[in-house]
Structure 1
Amino acid sequence: MEPSNNNGMKKKTLGIIGGVGPLATMFIGEMIVRLTDAETDQDHINMIITNNTNIPDRTSFILGESKDNPAPVIISDTERLHNAGADVLVIPCNTAHSFYEEIQKSSKLPIIHMINETVTRAAKRGANRVGILATTGTITTGVYQSACEKYGMVPIVPDAHIQAVVMSLIYDDIKAGKPADSDKWSIISRAMEEAGCDTVILGCTELSVVGKELKLVGYIDSLLVLAETAIQYCGYKVKRKTGI
């Protein structure tokens, strides 16, 4: 018999297409467990997680620095998770959502759109000038900028110098397994403030790890938004004031 929540809604099994990157994959798994309103092991979401580190780098492909297309590998993982019993999927990588339409079209399962959910959260906050901190791949495709403009918000992206600092924080620190450099973050946050942003989106899952390590507050964390959305989509309740 299928488990259900208190409203009689069937609880769904969540599939996480991970490895993009590995630490962010583990972080969203922890987030979901800590954010779920549960009192016993059996009250938690049933999750199936792949941590496929063979998925090619998304930014390198988008920028033409690599010919290795990540989309077919991600699509193959949607099939793996479908066969394993998942009901809905998430991809804890903002840049991978540049290929969202292609991946969703080939997937037998619905995929929660991380970027749309994050921008919707900003709109609900009444944001106007929204800073977008993300990989150069994500910035180049304009997925966040387009989503913000649909809600009448002004997207603000870093200039080339600040973007280089963002990429260094993502690749040289977090992806390299090193602690987040607080000096780099100070440069980035100061630039966003000077650009007049009233809201800033952490639009890369490695930046979500930075947020945890540096205990950042007041930002819209795309990974946190995805975790909360996944919990609700799967028929569970989000626990508040978790300290994440």
Structure 2
Amino acid sequence: MKKTLGIIGGVGPLATMFIGEMIVRRTKASKDQEHVHTIIDNDTTIPDRTAYILDQTNENPVPYLQRDTQKLASVGADIICIPCNTAHTFFHEMQEVSPVPVLHMIRETAKRASELGAKRVGILATDGTLAANVYQAALQEMDIEPVIASVHIQKQVMSVIYDYVKAGKEVTPEQWQPIEDAMLGLDCDRIILGCTELSIVNKELKLGERYIDSLIVLAEVAITACGYELNN
């Protein structure tokens, strides 16, 4: 029995369109009817997750995330995913109000790192995701050592996410190279792209096999969870 996928989007909008594309491209199908039935709610009204995690006087995104979870289930979604790593800080709040399963992007990405035999993994993510400790905890559960960038490099990562990708600007190889060099200098055998805006950078710059792209992991898990096969 094939299942319908619901996607809570808008976090950010470009990453939402990209996961939709990846689901189509990674599904083994020869015609329209063999693709995953997907319902996308590109809800750009959801408040910034990092801003709230770092300062809870900002608007709380949880009511929006819970509303969208219930909305997608009410219109036929059998499984729900959200292509935003930082939003998984509030995973339990989303799942507790959802009548259907919500996929856990961060746990699935940590599981992928384990399957690849990684032992020391760099995490490139928002300040909010890092402050919430969700990736560190997920990797440690897999007996993998998490590695965080220096304050200087983390500022560059946040600039790439907010000043470039979220602003619709392209990131150049010259802008990305210092980030990669710094993580490799920390002896990371793999690097997690733990923000879906960084998945856009990966798409444009083709960063290479050392990286584990959380958005692509989520797309592949969603496909199989809905009862479809992956392309080779």
Matched, 1:216 2:207: yes
Counterparts of 1:134-149 in structure 2 under 5 Å? 134-149=125-140
Deviation string 1:188-226 (CA, Å, 9 cap, x unpaired) is: 000001000001000000000000011111110000000
Tell me the CA shift for residue 184 of structure 1: 2.3
Q: Which amino acid aligns with 1:235?
A: G
**Aligned counterpart, 1:227:** 219
| Count of aligned residue pairs for this structure pair | 231
1: distance between equivalents of 2:57 and 2:85? 18
Tell me the CA shift for residue 65 of structure 1: 6.6
2: distance between equivalents of 1:61 and 1:172? 19
2: distance between equivalents of 1:106 and 1:85? 16
2: distance between equivalents of 1:182 and 1:130? 22
Tell me the CA shift for residue 180 of structure 1: 1.4
**Aligned counterpart, 2:71:** 80
Q: Which amino acid aligns with 2:231?
A: K
2: distance between equivalents of 1:66 and 1:212? 35
2: distance between equivalents of 1:45 and 1:215? 26
Q: Which moved more, 1:63-72 or 1:218-227?
A: 63-72
2: distance between equivalents of 1:182 and 1:59? 26
Q: Please provide the CA RMSD for this pair.
A: 0.8
Task: Give the counterpart of 1:38 among 29, 33, 37.
Answer: 29
1: distance between equivalents of 2:141 and 2:87? 20
TM-score norm. by structure 2 comes to 0.98
Cα distance change of structure 1 residues 65 and 182 upon mapping to structure 2, 3 Å threshold: farther
Please say if residues 169 and 181 of structure 1, whose CA atoms lie closer than 8 Å, have aligned partners that are also in contact. Answer: no
2: distance between equivalents of 1:110 and 1:72? 18
Matched, 1:100 2:91: yes
Matched, 1:50 2:19: no
2: distance between equivalents of 1:151 and 1:74? 28
TM-score norm. by structure 1 comes to 0.93
**Aligned counterpart, 2:165:** 174
Please say if residues 59 and 136 of structure 1, whose CA atoms lie closer than 8 Å, have aligned partners that are also in contact. Answer: yes
Tell me the CA shift for residue 66 of structure 1: 4.8
Tell me the CA shift for residue 102 of structure 1: 1.1
Q: Which amino acid aligns with 1:222?
A: S
Tell me the CA shift for residue 92 of structure 1: 0.3
Among all aligned residue pairs of Structure 1 and Structure 2, give the percentage whose two residues are the same amino acid. 57
Q: Secondary structure at the match of 2:19?
A: helix
2: distance between equivalents of 1:109 and 1:65? 28
Deviation string 1:98-136 (CA, Å, 9 cap, x unpaired) is: 000111111111100000000000001110110000001
Tell me the CA shift for residue 183 of structure 1: 2.1
Counterparts of 1:196-215 in structure 2 under 5 Å? 196-215=187-206
Task: Give the counterpart of 1:89 among 54, 72, 80.
Answer: 80
2: distance between equivalents of 1:80 and 1:179? 33
**Aligned counterpart, 1:7:** none
**Aligned counterpart, 1:158:** 149
**Aligned counterpart, 2:112:** 121
Instruction: Give runs of ≥4 in structure 1 deviating > 3 Å.
Output: none
Q: Which amino acid aligns with 2:184?
A: E
1: distance between equivalents of 2:158 and 2:186? 19
Q: Which amino acid aligns with 1:225?
A: V
Cα distance change of structure 1 residues 66 and 29 upon mapping to structure 2, 3 Å threshold: farther
Q: Secondary structure at the match of 1:156?
A: strand
Q: Which amino acid aligns with 1:199?
A: R
